[in-house]
Structure 1
Amino acid sequence: MTAPAVVSAAAKKEVEPAAPAGLRRLRERWGNARFAVTPLVGHSDLVTAVAFHGSYIVSGSRDTTVKLWHAATGTEEANLGGHTGSVTCVAIAPAATATAIGKALDCADDEDFLASGSSDCTVKIWSLRTGQEVRSVYTYSPVSAIAFLPEPGLLLSASDGGKLDMWDLTTGASVQSFRAHEDAITCLQLHGSLACTGGRDGQVRVWELRPGPRLHLLFCTEGEEWSADGRRRGASPLRCLLAGPRPHGRLLYSADEGASIRVLDWRTGSILRKLPNHNSDCGFTDCLSMASDGGDGGTRLMLSAGYDIDRGHGYINVRLLAEGGEPYVATLGGEATPRLLCVATTCTPSGLQRWGTGGRSLLLWEELPHGGGANSHHRENGHVVASSFRREFERDEEVWSDDESSASDSSLGSSSRASSSEDDTEPVNGRRRTWCSVM
């Protein structure tokens, strides 16, 4: 049975409803959006990771440090030093995992923990109360991404060597370790009990956490044609990956060194459409993130960071994540916006947007109340960015035809069932590859 590389326009119209009625209201709200953007000064090299924890921002940098900042004042609260290589990723431990770690390490019941991964081949766990390192695990390969699994105490790490490692942080022991990609894993996303990975080999894979605990391969995108260096012909390394909102969870958004974001239905193996993220044929998307609209807690937005190569400035495109598509809403950024390597989102208590971005510097983005001033009593070095609407990003319903597909998209093989044995977590050494999807 042949897996379709694309979905026809007629078929798409049958399965996808029209844009939601609230899109016009959403565009009006975001059309008037203004953000105060303030650099948080303290890192001495590129900021590669950022996360929010309540009213605090956590950042990791190539300068080997992890820093904790107070968002309301923009001041540095703690400097966590201990890594000997670039910090590549950070993650806040969920409540159940924090309780399990705290009990194992005899910490306070209400202790909060932070995990950081580094090119020094370690994952470190930090107490946010004391700023002290409480556990360190050696991964044998530079760490590229981390994520806390839903089972308390478990953390998943991805490496530059293509490995996935599952760790029990209550003991520091390895639970499972295997080669998940044939090249470096560049992105890792969790969606409930599913872990989604993307690699420098251009592949997307979906794994399910099963009792044991063990990761089981559900889906992989693999082309048939391979070059001498082991990469799929025409495939570009994936830069970022985003799992669609629950409860549906069937869509994955991926971006590489091309100008668009691909929308993949991993349950069927179909690439549904591409979303333009650049105003020219070349460009790259460094990061994708999901946000809740401050005006409606049930509305989910996708933020995609782009970089205008010709003009030399960055921007963030905002799209609505709806059942029928991803209509474009607005763009934030301008001449003063640098290239954005990572982004994290949250909302203020009043429902306004608050973002953190990394790159050449750590930037705090705070949405201003409509009709209000910049409120910059502690933002002397900041500036205000107004949203814009760019028609070139509105083509959100474009469907690939066979002629428009890239070499990597047109080289899809046949669809087959994967074995349920443990061997399906290991890569196949053969040169020819096929689509593989197991429900």
Structure 2
Amino acid sequence: MGEVRKLQKKLRQIENLELKVSLTPEEAVKVSKKEELRRRLAELLLQLSGPQQTQCIVGEEEDKMKRQIDIRAEHHPNSTPAAKLPREDRQKKEDKSESRTEEDIKEKEGGEQSQKLPDPDAEFTSFKASWEKAKFRLRTLKGHSDIITCVAAVDNLVISGSRDTTVKVWHVPTATEQRNLGGHSGGVTCISTPPAEHCRKLASALHLSEKERFIISGSTDCCVRIWTLTSGQCVKSIYTFNAVTSLCFIAEWEGYIVTGSDAGKLQVWDWLSQENRQSVNAHLDAVTTLQSQGPLVFSGSTDGSVCVWVVCDRAADPLNQLHQWGSEVTGCSRVDEVNGSLRLSARGDHVFLANGRSSIRVLNWRTGTMRRLTNHSSTAGVTDCVNQIPGVLIGSCSDLASGDNTLNLFSLPQCRYLVSLTSSDVPRILCFAWWLTPSGGHRWVTGGCELTVWEQLPGNVKKRGDVNARRDSRLDGLLAESDGDSQEESEDDDEDEDSTANDAPDAEEVSGSSWLRCVLQ
């Protein structure tokens, strides 16, 4: 296992190096060894998992094996024949069987009635079957010259922000670039699209059409900009004095913009006046994820902590902290040094966390209970982002050994594994957004090295999709109770600490090549 952990660490470093704008000669040499390291890691993982391979057989092959086992048991040549009973014993047995006839009939009737009861798993089985048949067409939107860090969707439009300092608006049906919003002097790290009702209020204040929609973008240039969607004009610019690493819109009362900085500060801005309403030092390191859910706001940081806030209108300080859980509870320590930024997606009392590990952390933010949801069949997987669509949790997964990139789907609220969607054309996925078409089909957009639109094809279309739906039975396990890192991940951290202590250049590389620091460069 020691060599496996070392190879995984090196491949994580290389994956992060490939996201940089330019490489030094030493870094280029390390990247050139990527395929060799992948092959070696794949060989080791295969050797270690050899005895358990039969557990991963799914579908028809598994049923076939079960039938073969049953047949062999029935026709085994060494099976013991039934012993003959004396006549008196046979008579007693017949009398006893007659006395039980009425009871057997009742039991049989009861069994038939119980069989008619609805199967509690029937709904899940049907839901799973529908996703197993799902077909998607992929289209790449080309125009950005650097990593896509954030995406959003409005009607038939996709909005993307990139480290190349631009925000672009794309028309999905024609796969064309509609607007190029240039104005930031630093990489764009986050975007948000306020609801139509709040857009109407701002449009009225600016004397624009009531149908106008707006885009909010944050950047490492310390600015938050508000753009019109129709013309691409920047109508407001807010200087925050700190590099903006995340933001969200609160659709309560008159509306607020909440921004997170590279130093851990949260700031609240009035939507209509753009005045600063509050500044609070919430985290010890960069705030890499923000999400609003009604009057609640969830923030996560590279220090591994998660905070929950409630918004109070017309208060001196709109944000009031309800809970704060540190890395010792979330199990997301050292994300800034090894695996990049922390991402979250909230649902009710639970927050789903992705921090570059092979599992998704599920935190009950009221009680501080943390569980793990397996998102990869081994520790060689990297989870960069987590999101939700109606009834489904989606986690991205990048396989360090093979280079494959997938989206794993889990049913909500049970968090039961549904299916994995994969394609050889999909690069590493760092951000995700979704919306539904008028016919009810799914449209997704993923960003990273490329901007890709996933469009679900109708079920009656015979055309083969660009995405393969497959199942990995190793992900079928339910949520695992956990008080921290899994054994493998803890060992991996220990290995990282040992390597860091013994190898100063590697330590500098790990610290300087995380996904967040790549974004900030």
Q: TM-score range by the shorter chain?
A: 0.7 to 0.9
Which letter does structure 1 place at the counterpart of 2:213? D
Is 1:327 aligned with 2:425? no
The change in CA–CA distance for 1:71 and 1:154 in structure 2 (over 3 A counts) is same
Structure 1 partner of 2:345: 242
Deviations 1:326-366 (A, max 9, x none): 00111111322210010001111111111000011100001
The change in CA–CA distance for 1:20 and 1:163 in structure 2 (over 3 A counts) is farther
TM alignment of 1:39-438, pairs within 5 A: 39-151=140-252, 152-211=254-313, 212=315, 214-222=318-326, 234-237=333-336, 239-244=342-347, 249-271=348-370, 273-292=371-390, 300-322=391-413, 325-374=414-463, 384-400=466-482, 404=486
Would you say the 8 A contact 2:293–2:346 is kept in 1? yes
Which letter does structure 1 place at the counterpart of 2:368? G
The change in CA–CA distance for 1:394 and 1:64 in structure 2 (over 3 A counts) is same
SS at match of 1:157: strand
SS at match of 2:474: helix
Structure 2 partner of 1:436: none
Would you say the 8 A contact 2:214–2:229 is kept in 1? yes
Structure 2 partner of 1:421: none
The change in CA–CA distance for 1:142 and 1:259 in structure 2 (over 3 A counts) is same
**d(CA) in 1 for partners of 2:146, 2:409:** 28
The change in CA–CA distance for 1:134 and 1:251 in structure 2 (over 3 A counts) is same
| Percent pairwise identity | 37
CA drift of 1:184 comes to: 0.5
Which letter does structure 1 place at the counterpart of 2:477? R
**d(CA) in 1 for partners of 2:332, 2:417:** 31
Would you say the 8 A contact 2:304–2:332 is kept in 1? no
Would you say the 8 A contact 1:340–1:359 is kept in 2? yes
Which letter does structure 2 place at the counterpart of 1:335? S
**d(CA) in 2 for partners of 1:404, 1:223:** 14
Deviates more, 1:259-268 or 1:282-291: 282-291
Q: Indicate the structure (1 or 2) with the bigger Cα radius of gyration.
A: 2
**d(CA) in 2 for partners of 1:403, 1:106:** 53
CA drift of 1:402 comes to: 8.3
SS at match of 2:386: strand
Would you say the 8 A contact 2:305–2:332 is kept in 1? no
Would you say the 8 A contact 1:235–1:407 is kept in 2? no
CA drift of 1:279 comes to: 2.3
The change in CA–CA distance for 1:68 and 1:20 in structure 2 (over 3 A counts) is farther
The change in CA–CA distance for 1:407 and 1:279 in structure 2 (over 3 A counts) is closer
**d(CA) in 2 for partners of 1:286, 1:264:** 17
Which letter does structure 1 place at the counterpart of 2:208? C
Would you say the 8 A contact 2:328–2:484 is kept in 1? no
CA drift of 1:103 comes to: 2.2
Would you say the 8 A contact 2:303–2:333 is kept in 1? no
CA drift of 1:23 comes to: 0.9
**d(CA) in 2 for partners of 1:203, 1:403:** 14
Deviations 1:130-180 (A, max 9, x none): 110000001111111111112324111111110111111322211111111
Higher strand share: 1
**d(CA) in 1 for partners of 2:479, 2:251:** 34
**d(CA) in 2 for partners of 1:233, 1:61:** 26
CA drift of 1:267 comes to: 1.1
CA drift of 1:236 comes to: 3.2
The CA RMSD measured in Å over matched residues stands at 2.3
**d(CA) in 1 for partners of 2:463, 2:251:** 40
Structure 1 partner of 2:128: 27
**d(CA) in 2 for partners of 1:143, 1:234:** 22
Would you say the 8 A contact 2:150–2:190 is kept in 1? yes
Would you say the 8 A contact 2:303–2:327 is kept in 1? no
**Unaligned stretches of 5+ residues in structure 2:** 1-118, 492-521
**What TM-score do the two structures reach when normalised by structure 2?**
0.66
CA drift of 1:101 comes to: 1.4
Deviations 1:199-220 (A, max 9, x none): 0111111011013151011111
Would you say the 8 A contact 2:382–2:400 is kept in 1? no
Deviates more, 1:216-225 or 1:386-395: 216-225
Structure 2 partner of 1:416: none
Would you say the 8 A contact 2:297–2:310 is kept in 1? yes
Would you say the 8 A contact 1:100–1:153 is kept in 2? no
Would you say the 8 A contact 1:32–1:386 is kept in 2? no
Q: Which has the higher contact order (CA 8 A, sep 6+)?
A: 1
Would you say the 8 A contact 1:233–1:407 is kept in 2? no
CA drift of 1:373 comes to: 4.4
**d(CA) in 2 for partners of 1:397, 1:133:** 45
The change in CA–CA distance for 1:159 and 1:403 in structure 2 (over 3 A counts) is closer
The change in CA–CA distance for 1:41 and 1:265 in structure 2 (over 3 A counts) is same
**d(CA) in 2 for partners of 1:164, 1:113:** 22
**Unaligned stretches of 5+ residues in structure 1:** 1-17, 226-231, 293-299, 376-382, 409-439
Higher helix share: 2
The change in CA–CA distance for 1:253 and 1:20 in structure 2 (over 3 A counts) is farther
Structure 1 partner of 2:81: none
